[in-house]
Amino acid sequence: MMKVMSDEVEPGREEAPFVADGLAAGAYNEEGVDLTLIRMFLRLTPAERLDEASSSANGIEELRALQVPASR
């Protein structure tokens, strides 16, 4: 069963910094899914999510263009 985690900060406690590599406590669920990335994307607006996805797709295309064909 998946644990429900709140993004609300307890009173008198500062929010922990975002840790992209998942070292923060509670960063992964039982299935090994990195919840920090899900939370990060859910904080974005739909337009910001689209921009992130477009940037990633453009980066992949740039990397593909740089690939050197393997010689046989």
Q: Are 25 and 5 in contact (CB under 8 A)?
A: no
- 36 - beta bridge partners? none
Residue of higher predicted confidence among 57 and 19: 57
pTM higher than 0.75 for the full model? no
User: Integer distance in angstroms from the first to the last C-alpha of the chain?
Assistant: 50
Q: Are 3 and 24 in contact (CB under 8 A)?
A: no
pLDDT in tens, 3-55: 555 555 455 555 555 555 445 567 888 888 888 888 999 999 999 999 999 99
